[in-house]
Structure 1
């Protein structure tokens, strides 16, 4: 640990995303984890909650006291659930800290949309619509000076990244988009639930939240925010018997501008390659991406194929890394002027 390094506070430290943040910070050359909080495990070392950290992280868990944390740390990674997170983010920001929020509390543009989909009254509604979305591939300039960054959702990352440039270019029909996504069980969090028990998920795959998943409005909101064009989409998530990873298969129709399906595939591959030519973690590939290709990394792989009169886009990410904690470290690097790849060279 260097006395000159950026000091990081981890707010809500018992979940999988918190473990992933701690793991990534162990190898970060310019940042150190100095504070970790928990409401129920105060006084315990973080390594007792996450044995993977044994011998490598001796931070003791403490209660969330924003004024005290602001004295000890420069930036907070807030890994609390929606609703509860906004209150803590507000306290930390008002104490003078810069905050990266993992919840959905500041991702959407509309208070009404948030309260409809999340079923709670937003505790800081005046900030809805003016918090920067944490996708440096599109918002790096704004992230550099942001006081609060809304870390993207995992499923939305796998859909927004391929869709936004294609919608912006006018190459696809915007009213007929189907997003079919499969996620590892870690996406459901660490708290025990019947549907994520081993006997329920092993040797099985199941759709859930059909037509009601909260990430659908985030996908539509951000694609419109980036492209300037509203879209309509159908999103169906599935739980698969693997620890981590997301594979999204996205079905679109080429627009008249795109020409034939074969021509559209070539144009879309070329456009995506141009869009992400300078993005260190986004790779437009010729092979069909798989979750194994990106597991444990901050990388994104995507490609385009044709099938009948539709174009099929396949995108793979790691839900805990590029879908959560890796994106947060990438955002932190941009916020503080570090190389974007610090702590993420995996």
Structure 2
């Protein structure tokens, strides 16, 4: 059994990790931390876990965490900087769900996250945990940076075109909608029911902090600079991301479906839907699946890719567990076979 610790278990990604891991056939949960909730039974905060775990929150302790095989960080940005190296030095592996190690350029990270990077020396060993791209590196990794939710949806949607050098120099567009849980569990006016319900709004139009992460991944896939306009929107739903992606790919109308089906044929968590499909966010709610449909607009010649994920699962905690499975040589879908919730 793999001994698992979680740092920061009181947010949405933390409870989602717990929901997945309590039923994982190869995992023993050893410790979950929260400074503010020290001593509180986890099931008192999250009643859905009653009968599944008797763990109590505790203050983070490197020695205790180091007795685990792997430690997940489900913490705000900047927290993993101060603890990750000490935990790695114990021999435990680290899977970080925050953005602390996603960008390879520490200066770029500081620009977007508004604080100095606390562990630039760890960046060279951090592996970007998008399994559909970096599976081999994940197998050998000691430090994983789990991709963000928007970056997961956008990159998986564009990858087949980028990897095959099918996009000429142009401005690509990612028009993305997210549920309110993407803003986290902390109280904020914008996340209140009266503010977010029955309304939709764009935000961070001039530049969202996920933009450099998306661009970094796309440029690695393309082997060249990529021009991308990324506009996120807040929608009145709890979970889900819907990304509508636009590109010009001349002469590909007949081959698009085959291209996407071939690229993801052996990927357990990417579902390329039949031609003409329109995937809905509810079709992935609670699951680790990214559903993709690809269209060719006959009038404009544009390729339009529709990509949907659950932002808390494939966009966060589920993908983190997928990385853990790969790291430890387990079945990649272990603990991740949940069918999406309908309705």
Question: Which TM-score applies when normalising by structure 1?
Answer: 0.94
- Residue 190 of structure 2 is aligned to residue 195 of structure 1: yes
Aligned residues: 334
In the TM superposition, what is the alpha-carbon distance from 1:309 to its structure 2 partner? Answer: 3.1
How far did residue 273 of structure 1 move?
A: 1.1
1:303 aligns with 2:298: no
Partner of 2:12: 16
SS at match of 2:125: coil
Q: Which residue of 1 aligns with 2:42?
A: 46
1:82 and 2:77 correspond? yes
Any conservation in 1 of the 2:97–2:316 contact (CA below 8 Å)? yes
Match of 1:240 among 235, 252, 258: 235
Counterpart in 2 of 1:228?
223
- Output the CA distance in 2 between the equivalents of 1:343 and 1:291: 21
Q: Matched residue of 1:266: which SS?
A: coil
Gaps of 5+ in 2: 339-343
2:164 & 2:59 partners in 1: Cα distance?
A: 48
Number of the residue aligned with 1:249: 244
**Offset, 1:109:** 2.0
In the alignment, the residues of structure 1 paired with residue 104 and residue 139 of structure 2 have an alpha-carbon distance, to the nearest angstrom, of: 20
Distance 1:106 1:68, change over 3 A: same
Query: RMSD of aligned C-alpha atoms?
Result: 1.2
* Residue 34 of structure 1: how far off its partner (Å): 1.6
Q: State how far apart, in whole Å, the 1-side matches of 2:222 and 2:27 are.
A: 34
Contact 2:165 2:222 in 1 (8 A): no
Q: Distance in 2 between matches of 1:174 and 1:138?
A: 23
Stretch deviating more after TM superposition (104-113 or 302-311): 302-311
Give the Å deviation of 1:205. 0.7
Deviation at residue 95 of structure 1 after TM alignment = 2.3
Q: Are 1:118 and 2:113 matched, yes or no? A: yes
Residues 125, 143 of structure 2: 8 Å contact kept: no
Cα offset, 1:63, TM superposition: 0.7
SS class of match (2:156): helix
For the Cα contact (< 8 Å) 2:127–2:141, is it kept in 1?
A: yes
Deviation at 1:235, TM superposition (A): 0.6
TM-score of the aligned structures, taking structure 2 as reference length: 0.95
For 2:281, which of 284, 291, 300 is the aligned residue? Answer: 291
Q: Which of 308, 320, 323 does residue 312 from structure 2 map onto?
A: 320
Deviation of 1:90 (Å): 2.0
Counterpart-to-counterpart distance in 2, 1:274 and 1:74? 35
In the alignment, the residues of structure 1 paired with residue 192 and residue 48 of structure 2 have an alpha-carbon distance, to the nearest angstrom, of: 21
C-alpha deviations, 1:273-317, integer Å up to 9, x for none?
Answer: 111111001011121111011111001111111232321111000
CA deviation after TM superposition for structure 1 residue 6, in Å: 0.7
The alpha-carbon distance between structure 1 residues 93 and 187, as it changes in their structure 2 partners (threshold 3 A), is same
User: What secondary structure does 1:303 align onto?
Assistant: strand
Once the 2 structures are TM-superposed, how far is the Cα of residue 26 of structure 1 from its aligned partner? 1.8
- CA displacement 1:83-141 (0-9 Å, x = unmatched): 12221222211222101001111111211211111111101112224311111111111
Who is 2:341 aligned against? none
- Judge conservation of contact 2:13–2:317 (CA < 8 Å) in 1: yes
Q: What is aligned with 1:268?
A: 256
Match of 1:153 in 2: 148
Does the 8 Å contact 2:162/2:221 carry over to 1? no
CA distance in 2, matches of 1:225, 1:105: 19
Distance between the aligned counterparts of 2:248 and 2:124, measured in 1? 30
The residue number in structure 2 matching 1:165 is 160
> Could you list the per-position Cα deviations for residues 19-42 of structure 1 after superposition, in whole angstroms to 9, with x for gaps in the alignment?
111000122111122210001000
Q: Which moved more, 1:334-343 or 1:73-82?
A: 73-82
Residue 173 of structure 2 corresponds to 178
